[in-house]
A and B are shown apart, each in its own frame.
Chain A
Amino acid sequence: MKHHIVPRVIAKLFIPGIILFGLYVQFHGDYGPGGGFQAGVIIGAAMILYGLIYGLNDLKKVAPSNIIISLIAFGFLLYAGVGIVTQILGANFLEYGVLGHTQKEGQHIGIILVELGVGITVASVMVIIFYMFAGRKN
């Protein structure tokens, strides 16, 4: 789609907004609807849109596939790691209360970290699926 000016301009205008909205959904998930899963999908969609319009190679410059592959595991490990940290601090697996000074503060920190892990894994899985499909063309 390199020679279609309308999609290129529209994508350039929209992609920062989409990513910003994804971050809003990610970090506002405890107050409004949303959370890590939806945010990951939105950010993944923004990156795939970039790849569709500007080509796979440009997207791979922004998000190299080996980094994306390690991010898949990183998000999952971040989630499980929060559970292990709470265990080390003397509570049950994924019992966030011990992460902060008060129960509510700990819950807040725990939920934000866990949702971040979900978001990272989901976004990078979406991008990697796109890489795998789009890369088969050549």
Chain B
Amino acid sequence: MIVDLPSTTTSQVNKKMVELRESGGAVALGRVLTLVIVTDDSSETEQAIQAANEASREHPARVIVVAKGARQAAARLDAQIRIGGDAGASEVVVLRVYGELAEEGAASVVPLLLPDAPVVAWWPNDSPEYPAKDPVGELAHRRITDAAAEPDPIDALGARTRSYVDGDTDLAWTRLTSWRALLAAALDQPPFEPIRGATVSGEADSPSTDLLAGWLASSLDIPVHRKVNREGPGIVSAVLERPSGNVEVVRPDGKIGYLTQPGQPDRRVALERRAVRDCLAEELRRLGPDEIYESTLRGLSEVVREDPDEHAEESEPVSAGQQS
């Protein structure tokens, strides 16, 4: 069911939600968190809500969408409540804020937060420079950004490093989990030799490739090379060098990975790129600080970028912390 409340206030929204719950019978009260989605009022808003609804099947949430409309307009709040079939396992409140209100999104969110339950903020695109200092970000226990959706993803990673506060996370990092799991599992098996070097390749503007390199650099404490590979979408390959032979994972088509290890037959692995809703569901599973993500961001400065032709100026180690 979708209920529109044009030009309204949050207390009317709250009242309407209680009313809907009572008239609609026992709509579940067991929400585990509030997810606040901050977007511009555009077509992408609907995609984000869709992803949140799907993720909500795993984590029933109240989803509050703050869609910022035209700043020049008169201050106004239009609300829309969705429950039942239109909201997955969640209840969705879309707040369209115009004029001065657009800058004060947090003020409209506070009255609608669930008592006691954790708050997660998600910027599907255009995340703030300092997520933790953003008015909505300040309310949240966890702040999800997406470097891949920024105009310059690699630059965005630099910004993340500068602005990192416990509770920050990025979907570019979540997309990596299956790669990291595969590499970690490969090292669970003998021979247990030290890793001498590592190389990661992927699209020039794939932030996940950079993060994979950063993760390897910080956990293995060795220089990691980051190469550009125009062949495939996202990450294309990762190589760990060991004295007895390399561990190699290559994924040329963004779907199937090829795992090569010395002394073992080559194997094909399903390594499909992950959909946003899967990543979001994974993010919502952990509500504490992600220390590994933090050290990965710090590890980015240890990554040696190899960009033979195009980005010649970036071929020095990216010292993200010092970029202006």
Tell me whether A and B are bound partners: no
